[in-house]
Structures are given as C-alpha cells and as structure tokens.
C-alpha cells in the first residue's frame, strides 16, 4: 500500500474530483446537500494543489 501511495499519490485528487462531481450532480438533480458539495470541492482543490506541488509545506495551513 505504501508503494501504491508513493507512486500514485499525486493523482489522488482525481478520485476526489469524481466524488465531488457526484455530489454536485446530486445537489442539482436530486435532494443533495450544498455543504457536501462545497466541502468535497474544497478538498478536491486542496488535494490538487498538494498533489501537483503548487502548495508547498511552508504555505500549507494543515502541515505542522
């Protein structure tokens, strides 16, 4: 599992994007929650920034 995350961890945001798109679809066409859609979209953006290296550890508010 560690090797899998080391190799493909930077592409984890794609999985989060799929879940975010489903949340937005659920919001627009069914009885979805706005909070879920916004939270998942924010997490997708965070994972995208960290996975592509655009958010460094110095600028990351969640890195200690």
Q: What are phi and psi of 27, to 5 degrees?
A: -65, -45
C-alpha to C-alpha distance for 33 and 41, rounded to whole angstroms: 13
pLDDT band of 37, cuts 50, 70, 90:
very high
Work out the average pLDDT over 35-45. Answer: 96
- pTM, two decimals, is 0.82
Query: DSSP string covering 1-62, please?
Result: -HHHHHHHGGGHHHHHHHHHHHHHHHHHHSS--HHHHHHHHHHHHHHHHHHHTSS-TTT-TT
Residue 1 has pLDDT above 70, yes or no: no
Which one has a higher pLDDT value, 11 or 4? 11
pLDDT at 34 (0 to 100) = 96
């Amino acid at each position: 599992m560690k090797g899998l995350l080391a190799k493909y961890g930077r592409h984890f945001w794609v999985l989060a994007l799929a879940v975010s798109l489903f949340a937005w679809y659920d919001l627009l066409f069914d009885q979805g929650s706005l909070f879920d859609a916004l939270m998942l979209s924010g997490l997708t953006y965070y994972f995208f920034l960290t996975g592509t290296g655009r958010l460094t550890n110095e600028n990351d508010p969640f890195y200690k």
